[in-house]
A = this chain, B = another copy of it.
Amino acid sequence: MENIESLIIDIARRARTASLELATLETHKKNAFLEQLAEALLAQTNAIMEANAKDLAAAKQHGLSQPMIERLTFTPERIAKMSEGVRQVASLPDPVGEEIERMRPPRGFDLRKRRVPMGVIGIIYESRPNVTVDCAILCLKSGNASILRGGKEAFHSNMKLSEVIEATLVANDINPDAVQVIPTTDRAALNVMLRQDDTIHCIIPRGGEGLIRFTVENSRIPVIKHYTGICTVYVDTEAEPELAKSIILNSKTQRPSVCNAAENLLLHQEAGAQLPAIAKALHDAGVELRVDAAAKAMLTASGLPLVDASEEDFATEYTDLIISIGIVPDTQAAIDLINAKGSGHTDAIVTQNEATARVFLNGVDSAAVFHNASTRFSDGFEFGLGAEIGISTDRIHARGPMGLNELCTYKYVLHGRGELKD
């Protein structure tokens, strides 16, 4: 235990030192490193596959589920894709130093808010080993040192990737402490890490709700949470029927396992005539229909198989081909239900009425509010951020999709001419 404590404290201190060097590292040097890392990952494909094979053997021995094993598995194609991702981050603009705002201070000195790195970012994640590379490169491009703590299932894969990253840092004359993978999956290491608030500035947990709750409960360091999504599509009385049907179908079924897929469908009571066609399309796509009493009454004649929805169903993330369907008396009731039961991730209204849309977009207290578009667009690439470290469900610092800018903080830079306070 004492060894683990000093190990982690040392890692955090070295990361802090490296972060001060990274903060002023020129863009071309960061990009040269990224380009070389992309090459190195390709060149090391066999070695990465060998390390990954050890993890896969252990996973089978421990009886991990097939989806878990699937997430853990590297293939040459996946490594090539990871390498391509590194190249893309190299091509993104450098966020560091950008002038965010020119202030107008009453005394007239030159005062600007400039984007700067946070410092040291700790990432805690689970089985997917590609997260190691994804997070390391986003932190580095934004001038931050990173401390990466992966899951035990991917330990050998992560350590191999760490080796490749470290060698490439050294080859590019960058302090190798800029990216450090914690070389143990002992829970005690995580506990020590979460208390290094002198040297680590932000923790981003990427994984299930249990991991996030554990992190929040035990961290002295600010945590940016990425909880999952309970997204709703609301069909207003002035919705265009084909638009409503296609948006709800796309939001629910295009990729049901992800956080920006819809879980709830709400209809204005006067839009009930649209429900049978929408329900049939969902059923045809394999979606189970969980309906409240009013929706059930509207659908009984359809002959579609229906399940009674409970109150909790409207606050449930299925991440599966299941949808909760409810009827509301008006737009305000839809807003209230979303604010009460949703997770503040992404919610959409379908309507041709601009005034109604405005009421919904203002009233729904979510990170992303959409008018006439699929909830599936709620991600960093679709928003034009270039890359994404995750989708924050927090209200502090970053909300919604987080790209390079959101990994930064700012500083106030003032040029005076000897001004004194009276």
Contacts and interface: CB of A to CB of B under 8 A. Distances in A.
Interface in A89-109: 97, 103-107, 109
Interface in A134-188: none
A111 interface: yes
Contact of A367 (B104, B216, B376, B411): B411
A66 to B, nearest CB: 26
Interface in A370-409: 370-374, 376-378, 381-384, 394-397, 399-401, 409
Interface string A272-286: 000000000000000
A119 B368 contact: no
B384 A106 contact: yes
A377 B419 contact: yes
Nearest to A217: B220
A23 interface: yes
A368 B421 contact: no
B371 A111 contact: no
A415 B371 contact: yes
Contacts of A23: 362-363, 365
A212 to B, nearest CB: 11
B254 A369 contact: no
B411 A369 contact: yes
A114 to B, nearest CB: 9
Contacts of A377: 105, 107, 109, 414, 416, 419, 421
Interface stretch (A229-237, A243-251, A306-314): A243-251
Interface size for chain A: under 10, 10 to 19, 20 to 34, or 35 or more residues? 35 or more
A301 interface: no
Contact of A383 (B105, B394, B400): B105
A180 B48 CA distance: 57
Contacts of A107: 377, 382
A147 to B, nearest CB: 15
Given A376-B420, A396-B409, 13 more contacts: A24-B363, A107-B377, A107-B382, A109-B377, A222-B222, A222-B223, A246-B418, A250-B420, A255-B421, A368-B414, A372-B419, A373-B416, A401-B412
A52 interface: no
A38 interface: no
B254 A420 contact: yes
Contacts of A396: 118, 201-202, 222, 224, 396-397, 409
A326 B401 CA distance: 46
A377 to B, nearest CB: 6
B384 A111 contact: yes
13 contacts: A103-B383, A105-B383, A106-B382, A109-B377, A250-B420, A367-B412, A368-B413, A371-B414, A371-B415, A372-B415, A374-B419, A377-B414, A399-B409
A415 to B, nearest CB: 5
Contacts of A376: 420-421
B421 A250 contact: yes
Given A396-B222, A418-B372, A106 B381 contact: yes
Contacts of A381: 106
A399 B409 CA distance: 7
A127 B104 CA distance: 33
Interface in A203-230: 216-217, 220, 222-224
A20 interface: yes
A370 B217 contact: no
A417 interface: yes
A366 interface: yes
Contacts of A374: 416, 419-421
Contacts of A202: 395-396
Interface in A334-367: 339, 357, 361-363, 365-367
A127 B115 CA distance: 36
A379 B49 CA distance: 55
A286 to B, nearest CB: 18
